[in-house]
Each structure stands twice: as structure tokens, then as C-alpha cells.
């Protein structure tokens, strides 16, 4: 988890990941980076990031799963069925263009939306926890539309 | 809590020697005005206590010219203390935007002489409407401060009080005196003897440390309440200022906690089985209103502090957050997206009679009810800008006080005259350089915005009640 996150933020910082509202691109890019470090253990966070995609993105103030994001969650559900021992936390986040308290609730609703798709895809609810960080843990640190699009997200994290 | 009548004034000639004053008032009852601070009335100069009261109910008035010389003292320690007290008072009065303290370089009469007997013409020529004089006595760690406020035109003493306390309380005495001046000249309670709890933020934005901190309203006596091991957000004062409700990420479970300021003890509030957020105490201090996530929605609950029983007040689809009681405890204002986007709603304290009150341009959030009951302050988001504004509780009379790239989280001074909120500056680059968050204060008439000095970035201010 921490490696993937560090990689992602490193790439964001160096401009490799500028307008990454496309999850496939994130997974592929991160996979290429993680691949250099050696084999990826199945069922690990690195596996999830490299081969499945660990996150989905949302429209401003919305917590419904976008049609273009749904496949990522379907793949996550299949991956969790393959890796039956894996337990995850879905972290919900918001961009900085809202108030702290509302964004905390919004991040929770986003995490719940993602969880509901995983559960509908056959994952036992007990394997999934959710938490919201609102606007308080941005992935992209800029103050612009691209950064906000990256930050309106639900990230699945292997526990 | 404020015993104005017991701090009053009587009619004794101004130049009564100090020793007689003491003798005269040896039997005067001392009043406890704050923990460890006692006051006794001092004799007044002339008949009556009418004199100047400036009307500030208008939107904006010219600041009152006032002379605040150093307080006199025997010996270097007492003199230094007299200077320090006067400077805290000057800073308070100036920061309110309602007073114009006159530059000390212009003073003609010395502090020592003025403390003996003001020569009114020396102060009148400076344009002063009011003058303060005082004397500091230090013996060991005991501090006695005699303070007088003079109306310069009628040449009358308007206030006279002696304060006794341990020397370490000198700042609080200066704040109490500032509130005395404010009340006497403006006709309403001040807000200087207060504290502010807030969130101190440091580190890069994706890995920020967020600690509860507390300080005097002027930024002094700064102290951290939590160590940064877990993220802490949204502190809110209890109406008697002995505890704070806040949100903690302890054990990665975001929940509302109570923080006892006397013992340092923290305890989780309620058992909702999920995230709880946006707590505020009821005006009587007996319950906490908050938002809890259940199912897909955030709903508003009230938790009785004695029984810990919870009662659900809202049950609509959507996110209901940021509830705040009216000062009479009869109504609740809150933020909800039940209608599609964030707006402000008011309901009765039992959850009935919900009506939307915000209808302007944009999304509305973080409502707080003024302690005076007459206004609700809010954050408005629209057209790429954030703004802090006020409206009447029925939604009419909306006024924007400050606008910028990002700002939110208004909190009222206990007299309802001043707001604090936090303002952010955007990042300049993809690394987040240039981003900052700072607390500002502003008069509810929309002028005199000032940044509050804090050691780190600062968010989520909560203004305490008056401490005296």
C-alpha cells in the first residue's frame, strides 16, 4: 500500500500522472513502476494496483458510480473472489472545493457506493470496511481541475 | 457570570489619596470574576455614571479615540507589568476595529501623574474621548491592578475597579479590563477574555498532522491539546468552556469525542456503529447534536450527555451535517443536500417543521447561529469562489462579509459582533507549494478582516464563551 501510494504521489509530483482521471492509465503506469521492484505477490496491494486498479473517480458532489468506473469495481470484486483471504478498506475522498464536514460525509457516501458494487459482485460485506477522509488526504496536491478530478475518489486498500 | 452591579461605582472625589481609597473600601465585597481573579469597586470621580455610550448598532462607526497610557507601578517589575497590561489592552481595542488607541509618543502627562489625577486638557488636546489610568502593585506572586476609565469631555470617572490575582494571570486581567472598557463605551458585552480552540495543521497536504490547539483570542498562551498521533478535527466549545467536542481518527475510527479541558480526558460519544461528525453542544450544555452515517445517509442526532441516550432528528435521503442550535435551544439550523445540492435548513429542536432558508446563488454550508440569535453565519460556494456571509434565521437579509479562493467554518464571538473563520490560499504547483490555511477574524458588518497569528496552518476555529 505505502509503496504504491508513494509511487503514485511521486509520479504525480514529477508530472507523469498529470490528468489521471482514467483509472486504467493509473493502474498501467503504477504497474510498470512496481514491476521494476520484482515479483508482485498475488492478493497484495501492488497486485491490486498493477493488475486490477485500486480506485474509482467521481463527478463533483456526486457519489454514484460513473459508468466508465464501474468495470474497475467489477474487476475488484472478481479479484477479491480469487483472493478469498483478502480484506480491504475502501477509503472515500473528496476534492478541496467543499467544506470539511460535508466532504467527510460525501467521502463516506462514495466509499459506501464503491462497497455496494463490490458486495453486489459477490464479496462478503464482512471483508470490506469503509472510512472517509473527506478533503483532508488529497492524492494530487495541486489546486486545479485535474488535481480535483484525481482527488474525488474511492480507493480500495488491502488490510 | 458577569456581576456588573457589584463592580459598579460610587461617588467619591477623584483625588482622594490612595490610602483613603483603600480605607474607604476596606469593607467592599470582593467579587470573583474569573478563576483566581477577584475584583473590588473603586470610588468614582463625580456624580452619575451617564456619559458617553457610542451607538454601534449602525453598520459601521468611526473608531473611538482612546488614550491607554502604561499603568503606573512602583519599581521596575511593576512598571514592566504595567506596560504589558496596557499593551494587551491597546492591542485588543485596536483589533476590534471600533477603537483608535492614540499613539503613546503623543502623550503629555506621564502614566504616574495620570494615575494620581488625570489632567484632562492634556488628553483632550490629543483628541481622546476616553482615557484609562491604572496602577500595578506586585508583591511576590500577588498582583493588584487598579484600573480607571475616564470620560474626558465631562471629566468624569466612568469605571473604577481593583483586581487581585496571582501575577501569572496578568493577561487575563488585561482582557477583563478590555471587556470593561468595551462594555462601558459601546454598551454591549466584549469578547476579549475568551479563548479559541482550533486545528493546527503541519506537514505536506497528503500527510498532514492535525492537532487540537487552544489559545487566547489574541493568539497568546498557545497550547496543543493533542499530540498528532491521530487526526483531530472540528473542536467545539461547551457553553461553560470546560470541555470541547471534536472529531478524532483514533484507531482509524472517525468518531465524535469529548475532551475535558480540566483533566485532559478524552472519551468517545455515543455508539453509532459508524462515522460521527460535526458535533456542537446545546446552549444549556446538556446535550450534543451531531451527524451520524447510517446506511447511505448522514442524519442528525442529539445525544443527552447524562443518559447518553440518542435521538434521531432527521431521516431524509441525503447528507445532513453541521447542525447548530439557536441560542434559545428551540431551533436547529443544518446543512443538507436533500434537495440536490447543499443548502441550509432550519427545523424545530424536536426535528419537526423543516424549512429551507438559503435561496441565493450557490451552495451553502457550515451554518452557525449567532449568540444574539439574530443572524446565521454560513459558507457559500459558487462561481469558483468561497464566501463567508450572514443571513437572518428566516433566510432574509443575506450579506457576504468576505470572499476568496477558499474559506469556511465561521464561529461567532460570544457577543455576536465578530466572526472567525479560516481562509486558504491555493497551491501554486503540483507539489502543493504555496498552499496555506489561516484563521481570520472579521466584524459582522464586513470590515476589519485580520489574520490571527498561529504557529502553523490553522483551521476549524471555535470561539469560547466569555470567561468572566
Q: Show the cell assigned to B137.
A: 502593585
CA distance B143 to B138: 5
CA distance B194 to B466: 5
Helix boundaries (H) for B163-220: 170-186
- Asked if A15 reaches chain B (Cβ–Cβ under 8 Å), the answer is yes
pLDDT at A8 over 80: no
pLDDT band at B402 (very low <50, low <70, confident <90, very high): very high
CB-CB contact of A66 with A56 (8 Å):
yes
CB-CB contact of B389 with B397 (8 Å):
no
pLDDT band at A37 (very low <50, low <70, confident <90, very high): low
Task: Identify the pLDDT of residue A24.
Answer: 40
Fold type of domain A2-158? 60s Ribosomal Protein L30; Chain: A; (3.30.1330)
B64-67 vs B130-139, strand pairing mode: parallel
Q: Cβ–Cβ contacts within 10 Å for residue A62, how many?
A: 13
Choose the final residue of a domain: B149, B168, B186.
Answer: B186
- Asked if B291 reaches chain A (Cβ–Cβ under 8 Å), the answer is yes
Eight-class DSSP state of B319: B
Q: Show the cell assigned to B115.
A: 494615575
Does the reported pTM lie above 0.90? no
ipTM of the complex: 0.89
Q: What percent of chain B has pLDDT over 90?
A: 85
Q: Testing the interface with A: which of B202, B253, B295, B427 to mutate, by most A Cβ within 10 A?
A: B427
pLDDT at B384 over 50: yes
pLDDT in tens, B289-338: 999 998 789 999 999 999 999 999 999 999 999 999 999 999 999 999 99
pLDDT in tens, B35-62: 888 888 887 654 344 455 555 544 557 8
Q: Quick one: B120 and B226 in the same domain?
A: no
> How many CB pairs lie under 8 A apart between chains A and B?
111
pLDDT at B12 over 50: no
- Asked if A101 reaches chain B (Cβ–Cβ under 8 Å), the answer is yes
In a domain, B125, yes or no: yes
CB-CB contact of B347 with B332 (8 Å):
yes
Q: Quick one: B71 and B203 in the same domain?
A: no
Eight-class DSSP state of B465: P
pLDDT in tens, A41-80: 999 999 999 999 999 999 999 999 999 999 999 999 999 9
Using only C-alpha atoms, chain A has a radius of gyration, in whole angstroms, of 14
pLDDT at B391 over 50: yes
CATH number of the domain enclosing B416: 2.120.10.30
pLDDT at A13 over 60: no
Task: Identify the pLDDT of residue B124.
Answer: 97
CA distance B288 to B325: 10
In a domain, B468, yes or no: no
Neighbouring residues of B181: CB distance < 8 A, sequence distance ≥ 6:
B66, B89, B93, B99, B130, B132, B149, B159, B190
Choose the final residue of a domain: B159, B186, B213.
Answer: B186
pLDDT at B342 over 90: yes
Q: Quick one: B287 and B360 in the same domain?
A: yes
In a domain, B297, yes or no: yes
Choose the final residue of a domain: B186, B207, B225.
Answer: B186
Q: Quick one: B162 and B236 in the same domain?
A: no
Helix, strand, coil share of chain B (percent; to 5):
15, 40, 45
Q: Quick one: B136 and B9 in the same domain?
A: yes
Neighbouring residues of B299: CB distance < 8 A, sequence distance ≥ 6:
B291, B292, B312, B313, B314, B315, B316, B320
Task: Identify the pLDDT of residue B44.
Answer: 64
Count of domains forming chain B: 2
CA distance B285 to B261: 15
Higher pLDDT, B53 or A121: A121
Task: Identify the pLDDT of residue B54.
Answer: 55
- Asked if A16 reaches chain B (Cβ–Cβ under 8 Å), the answer is no
Q: Quick one: B149 and B39 in the same domain?
A: yes
Q: Cβ–Cβ contacts within 10 Å for residue B241, how many?
A: 17
- Asked if A97's CB is within 8 angstroms of B430's CB, the reply is no
pLDDT at B10 over 70: no
Q: Quick one: B170 and B282 in the same domain?
A: no
CATH number of the domain enclosing B124: 3.40.50.10070
CA distance B440 to B459: 10
pLDDT in tens, B408-419: 999 999 999 999
Q: Quick one: B244 and B128 in the same domain?
A: no
Catalogue the long-range contacts made by B221-229 (C-beta closer than 8 Å, 24 or more residues apart): B221/B171, B221/B195, B222/B454, B222/B455, B224/B200, B225/B197, B225/B259, B225/B261, B225/B264
For residues B389-393, give the mean pLDDT: 98
Q: Testing the interface with A: which of B277, B314, B345, B377 to mutate, by most A Cβ within 10 A?
A: B277
Q: Quick one: B200 and B306 in the same domain?
A: yes
Extended beta strands in B3-113, E state: 10-11, 31-34, 37-41, 43-44, 64-67, 72-73, 99-101
Among all chains, which residue has been given the C-alpha cell 512602583? B74
Range of the domain at B361: 195-463
- Asked if A6 reaches chain B (Cβ–Cβ under 8 Å), the answer is no
Task: Identify the pLDDT of residue B51.
Answer: 53
Q: Quick one: B104 and B150 in the same domain?
A: yes
Q: Quick one: B140 and B203 in the same domain?
A: no
Mean pLDDT taken over chain B: 91
pLDDT at B19 over 60: no
Using only C-alpha atoms, chain B has a radius of gyration, in whole angstroms, of 24
pLDDT band at B28 (very low <50, low <70, confident <90, very high): low
Catalogue the long-range contacts made by B434-441 (C-beta closer than 8 Å, 24 or more residues apart): B435/A141, B435/A143, B435/B205, B437/B201, B439/B196, B439/B198, B440/B402, B440/B407, B441/B95
pLDDT at B153 over 50: yes
Task: Identify the pLDDT of residue B47.
Answer: 38
For residues A112-124, give the mean pLDDT: 98
CA distance B395 to B357: 4
Q: Quick one: B177 and B203 in the same domain?
A: no
Amino acid at each position: 500500500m505505502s509503496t504504491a501510494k508513494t509511487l503514485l504521489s511521486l509520479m504525480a509530483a514529477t508530472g507523469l500522472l498529470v490528468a489521471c482521471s482514467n483509472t486504467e492509465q493509473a493502474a498501467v503506469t503504477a504497474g510498470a513502476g512496481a514491476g521494476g521492484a520484482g515479483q508482485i505477490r498475488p492478493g497484495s496491494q501492488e497486485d491490486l494496483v498493477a493488475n486490477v486498479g485500486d480506485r474509482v473517480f467521481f463527478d463533483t458532489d456526486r457519489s454514484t458510480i460513473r459508468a466508465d468506473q464501474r468495470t474497475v469495481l467489477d474487476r475488484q470484486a472478481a479479484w477479491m473472489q480469487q483472493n478469498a483471504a483478502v480484506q480491504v478498506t475502501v477509503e472515500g475522498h473528496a476534492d478541496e472545493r467543499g467544506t470539511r464536514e460535508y466532504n467527510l460525509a460525501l467521502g463516506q457516501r462514495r466509499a459506501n457506493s464503491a462497497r455496494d458494487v463490490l458486495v453486489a459482485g459477490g464479496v462478503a460485506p464482512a471483508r470490506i470496511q469503509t472510512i472517509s477522509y473527506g478533503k483532508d488526504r488529497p492524492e494530487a496536491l495541486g489546486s486545479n481541475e485535474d488535481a480535483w478530478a484525481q482527488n474525488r475518489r474511492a480507493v480500495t486498500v488491502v488490510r | 457570570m458577569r456581576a456588573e452591579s457589584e463592580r459598579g461605582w460610587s461617588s467619591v472625589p477623584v483625588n482622594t489619596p490612595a490610602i483613603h481609597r483603600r480605607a474607604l473600601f476596606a469593607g467592599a465585597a470582593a467579587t470573583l470574576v474569573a478563576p483566581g481573579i477577584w475584583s473590588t469597586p473603586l470610588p468614582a470621580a463625580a456624580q452619575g455614571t451617564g456619559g458617553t455610550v457610542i451607538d454601534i448598532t449602525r453598520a459601521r462607526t468611526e473608531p473611538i479615540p482612546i488614550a491607554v497610557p502604561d499603568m503606573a507601578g512602583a519599581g521596575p517589575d511593576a512598571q514592566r507589568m504595567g506596560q504589558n497590561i496596557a499593551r494587551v489592552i491597546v492591542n485588543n481595542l485596536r483589533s476590534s476595529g471600533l477603537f483608535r488607541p492614540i499613539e503613546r509618543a503623543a502623550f503629555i502627562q506621564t502614566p504616574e501623574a495620570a494615575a494620581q489625577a488625570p489632567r484632562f486638557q492634556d488628553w483632550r488636546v490629543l483628541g481622546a474621548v476616553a482615557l484609562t489610568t491604572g496602577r500595578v502593585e506586585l508583591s511576590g506572586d500577588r498582583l493588584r491592578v487598579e484600573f480607571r476609565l475616564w470620560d474626558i469631555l465631562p471629566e468624569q470617572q466612568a469605571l473604577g475597579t481593583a483586581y487581585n490575582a496571582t501575577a501569572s494571570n496578568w493577561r487575563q486581567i488585561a482582557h477583563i479590563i478590555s471587556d470593561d472598557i468595551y462594555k462601558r463605551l459601546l454598551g454591549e458585552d466584549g469578547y476579549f477574555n475568551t479563548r479559541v480552540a482550533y486545528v493546527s495543521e503541519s506537514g505536506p497536504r497528503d500527510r498532514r498532522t492535525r492537532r487540537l490547539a487552544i489559545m487566547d483570542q489574541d493568539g497568546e498562551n498557545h497550547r496543543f491539546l493533542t499530540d498528532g498521533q491521530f487526526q483531530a478535527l472540528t473542536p467545539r466549545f461547551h457553553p461553560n468552556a470546560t470541555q470541547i467536542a471534536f472529531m478524532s481518527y483514533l484507531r482509524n475510527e472517525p468518531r465524535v469525542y469529548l475532551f475535558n479541558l480540566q483533566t485532559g480526558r478524552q472519551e468517545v460519544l455515543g455508539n453509532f456503529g459508524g462515522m460521527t461528525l460535526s458535533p456542537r453542544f446545546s446552549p444549556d450544555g446538556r446535550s450534543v447534536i451531531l451527524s451520524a452515517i447510517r446506511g447511505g445517509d448522514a442524519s442528525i442526532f442529539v445525544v443527552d450527555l447524562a443518559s447518553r441516550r440518542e435521538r434521531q432528528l432527521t431521516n431524509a435521503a441525503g447528507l445532513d451535517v453541521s447542525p447548530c442550535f439557536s441560542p434559545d435551544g428551540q431551533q436547529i439550523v443544518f446543512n443538507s443536500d436533500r434537495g440536490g445540492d447543499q443548502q441550509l435548513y432550519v427545523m424545530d429542536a424536536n426535528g419537526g417543521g423543516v424549512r429551507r432558508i438559503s435561496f441565493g446563488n450557490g451552495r451553502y454550508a457550515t451554518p452557525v447561529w449567532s449568540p444574539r440569535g439574530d443572524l446565521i453565519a454560513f459558507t457559500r460556494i459558487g462561481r469558483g469562489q468561497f464566501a463567508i456571509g450572514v443571513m437572518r434565521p428566516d433566510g432574509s437579509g443575506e450579506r457576504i462579509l468576505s470572499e476568496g479562493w477558499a474559506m469556511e467554518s465561521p464561529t461567532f464571538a460570544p457577543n455576536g459582533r465578530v466572526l472567525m473563520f479560516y481562509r486558504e490560499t491555493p497551491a501554486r504547483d503540483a507539489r502543493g507549494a504555496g498552499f496555506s490555511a489561516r484563521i481570520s477574524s472579521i466584524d459582522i458588518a464586513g470590515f476589519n478582516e485580520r489574520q490571527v497569528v498561529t504557529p502553523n496552518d490553522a483551521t476549524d476555529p471555535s470561539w469560547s464563551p466569555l470567561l468572566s
